[in-house]
């Protein structure tokens, strides 16, 4: 290539990004080297730059997929803008009533990505989850999508804690319960001592387009309080769903 150095680097990075975006699965370093014809050192340097800016993400096995900045843009259509506009007062309401962290998440591939948050009002418990992608099987948000019909990824389920439901039969039973009662719970399944309650937001056709969660430590989210907060969460999610066009009545949470 005869282009100046700066333009050449941009062109090379663009080739890599397009290759990642057009693939139906995460691509390997070797595949990108074959596509680009770049030396390993150059390829590694460009991927690191793309990674720093959230344009690609390297997985544990070294494969590369689109990064958080790309997925947020891909999901930033008007329906999600409306979702955030409609859900913000409900996030604030739940946060005011419970004092706990409230999140909105969408499904991105086989993970959930959290796109909005109302911060915990307690001294202990503030974590910024926005932009983080989490597994389906060990999060309340993910279980909501599984109960709505999202498929589990193939292979072994990662055991994040001793409480993680890594056995598919046990997880299937938990997802069936989630579907029946209308809300999910993950108790120390993602992190020890972390409890989350999740409920679905549906579009006009009934599909689960988002999930809301209430998250806090197990010392505050006791079984009795989980049931209490679940009723609030389901009701507020039903309100958001109705505003999104889903013909629903105010929801009621079942017994745990």
Mean pLDDT for the stretch of residues 86-99: 92
pLDDT digits (tens, 9 = 90+) for 128-138: 888 888 999 99
> Which of 111-125, 176-190, 196-210, 211-225 is predicted least confidently?
111-125
User: Are residues 108 and 221 both part of a single domain?
Assistant: yes
76 versus 101: the higher-pLDDT residue is: 101
pLDDT at 31 over 50: yes
pLDDT tens digits along 151-161: 988 889 999 99
Within a domain: 54: yes
Residue 104 confidence class, pLDDT cut points 50, 70, 90:
very high
109 and 37 co-located in one domain: no
Q: Report helix, strand or coil for 138.
A: coil
**pLDDT confidence bin for 126, thresholds 50/70/90:** low
Determine the structural domain holding residue 32 and report its residue range.
Answer: 5-72
Residues 54 and 87 grouped into a single domain = no
pLDDT score of 252 more than 70: no
Higher pLDDT, 247 or 99: 99
What pLDDT sits at residue 22?
A: 86
Q: Which of 87-101, 118-132, 160-174, 232-246 has the lowest mean pLDDT?
A: 118-132
Per the structure, the count of domains in the chain is 2
CA 130/CA 115 separation, integer angstroms: 5
Indicate if 50 and 149 belong to the same structural domain.
no
Q: Give the span between the Cα atoms of 200 and 212, in whole angstroms.
A: 7
For residue 252, tell me if it sits in a domain.
no
The percent helix, strand, coil of the chain (3-state, each to 5) is 45, 20, 40
Per-residue confidence (pLDDT) for residue 118, from 0 to 100: 92
Domain shared by 80 and 26, yes or no: no
Same domain, 62 and 103: no
């Amino acid at each position: 290539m005869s282009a100046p150095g700066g333009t050449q680097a941009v062109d090379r990075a663009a080739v890599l990004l397009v290759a990642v975006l057009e693939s139906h699965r995460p691509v390997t370093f070797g595949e990108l080297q074959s596509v680009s014809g770049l030396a390993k050192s150059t390829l590694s340097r460009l991927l690191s730059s793309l990674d720093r800016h959230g344009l690609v993400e390297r997985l544990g096995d070294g494969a590369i997929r689109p990064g958080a900045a790309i997925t947020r843009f891909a999901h930033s259509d008007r329906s999600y803008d409306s979702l955030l506009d409609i859900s913000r007062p409900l996030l604030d309401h739940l946060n005011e009533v419970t004092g706990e962290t409230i999140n909105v998440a969408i499904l991105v591939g086989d993970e959930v990505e959290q796109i909005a948050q109302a911060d915990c009002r307690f001294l202990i418990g503030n974590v910024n989850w926005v932009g983080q992608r989490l597994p389906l099987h060990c999060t309340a948000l993910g279980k909501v999508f599984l109960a709505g019909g999202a498929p589990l990824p193939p292979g072994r389920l990662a055991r994040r804690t001793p409480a993680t439901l890594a056995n598919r039969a046990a997880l299937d039973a938990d997802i069936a319960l989630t579907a029946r009662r209308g809300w999910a719970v993950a108790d120390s399944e993602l992190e020890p001592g972390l409890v989350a309650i999740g409920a679905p937001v549906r579009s006009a056709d009934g599909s689960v387009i988002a999930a809301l969660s209430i998250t806090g430590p197990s010392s505050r989210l006791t079984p009795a309080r989980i049931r209490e907060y679940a009723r609030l969460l389901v009701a507020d999610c039903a309100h958001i769903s109705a505003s999104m066009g889903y013909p629903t009545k105010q929801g009621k949470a079942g017994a745990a």
